[in-house]
Amino acid sequence: MPVRLSLLNTMHRMNDHSNSISITIELLEKIKQQYCLKWYGTHGVIHWSRVYENGIKLAEQDGVNSNVVQFFSIFHDSRRRNESTDNNHGNRGAQLALEMRAGITLSDEDFSLLIIACRLHTSARTHHDITVQACFDSDRLDLGRVGTMPDAEFLCTPMAKMPDIIEWGYNRSLIHRLPDQPFGLSMYKDRVIRLDGI
């Protein structure tokens, strides 16, 4: 994973389906300005950064759109109102993505997958589209932070169901720390940290 992320940081943004960097610090700052929970809380930026890394890993599977799963990581919990049960937060996260559409470098078709994934990520067990599945899995592989071992039965893609991937996600989920290269934005880590003060 570190090698892959290092390579990502040498790449320029491309609007194709490769593992290019999609998230900008400006986009993250705008999301933070409206986020009403603790930045480093259970569903905050540390969780998002791990969901991002999980999504990048799962995007190695054929058919998974890496750019969609990257944007999913920062929008899916962006409008949570509490750290426990918040049944409508997926819809609200999708609404924020709609409001910020101009800053999201996805085609209309791919953007629709992001909206579906945000809306359904807690209410649907799976979905017919593998990119939406990878979004669900990237979130569910981080359940260890709330004391839950991810269960293959509730994961969607073949890679996420693999025992070593579940263990990889679980072990990382126990470490409450921002990774060195959050969202592929290694040069902006200090700014990501300072967002805590907004």
Angstrom distance (rounded) from CA 6 to CA 191: 19
Q: Which token pair is 173?
A: 């989920």
Q: Which token pair is 3?
A: 């090698």
Q: For the CB of residue 139, give the shortest distance to Fe ion in the complex, in Å.
A: 4
Q: For the CB of residue 51, give the shortest distance to Fe ion in the complex, in Å.
A: 6
Q: Write each residue from 24 to 43 as x if it is in contact with Fe ion (CB under 5 A), else as -, in one continuous string.
A: --------------------
Q: Write each residue from 93 to 132 as x if it is in contact with Fe ion (CB under 5 A), else as -, in one continuous string.
A: ----------------------------------------
Q: Which is closer to Fe ion, CB of 12 or CB of 147?
A: 147
Q: Which is closer to Fe ion, CB of 18 or CB of 171?
A: 171
- How many CA atoms are closer than 13 Å to the CA of 115, on its beta-carbon side? 15
Q: Which is closer to Fe ion, CB of 53 or CB of 77?
A: 77
Q: Which is closer to Fe ion, CB of 77 or CB of 137?
A: 77
Query: Residue 139, interface with Fe ion (CB under 5 A)?
Result: yes
CB atoms within 10 A of CB 173: 23
Phi, psi of 28 (to 5 degrees): -65, -40
Query: Residue 53, interface with Fe ion (CB under 5 A)?
Result: no
Angstrom distance (rounded) from CA 7 to CA 147: 33
Tell which residue, 9, 80, 5, has the closest CA to residue 50.
5
Q: Which is closer to Fe ion, CB of 77 or CB of 129?
A: 77
Residue with tokens 């190695």: 60
Nearest 5°: the CA angle 122, 128, 166 is: 55
Total interface residues for Fe ion by CB under 5 A: 2
Q: For the CB of residue 172, give the shortest distance to Fe ion in the complex, in Å.
A: 14
Q: Write each residue from 66 to 85 as x if it is in contact with Fe ion (CB under 5 A), else as -, in one continuous string.
A: -----------x--------
Q: Which is closer to Fe ion, CB of 13 or CB of 176?
A: 176
Angstrom distance (rounded) from CA 46 to CA 44: 6
Dmax over CA atoms of the chain, in Å, equals: 40
- Judged by the rule CB under 5 A, the positions of this chain that interact with Fe ion are 77, 139
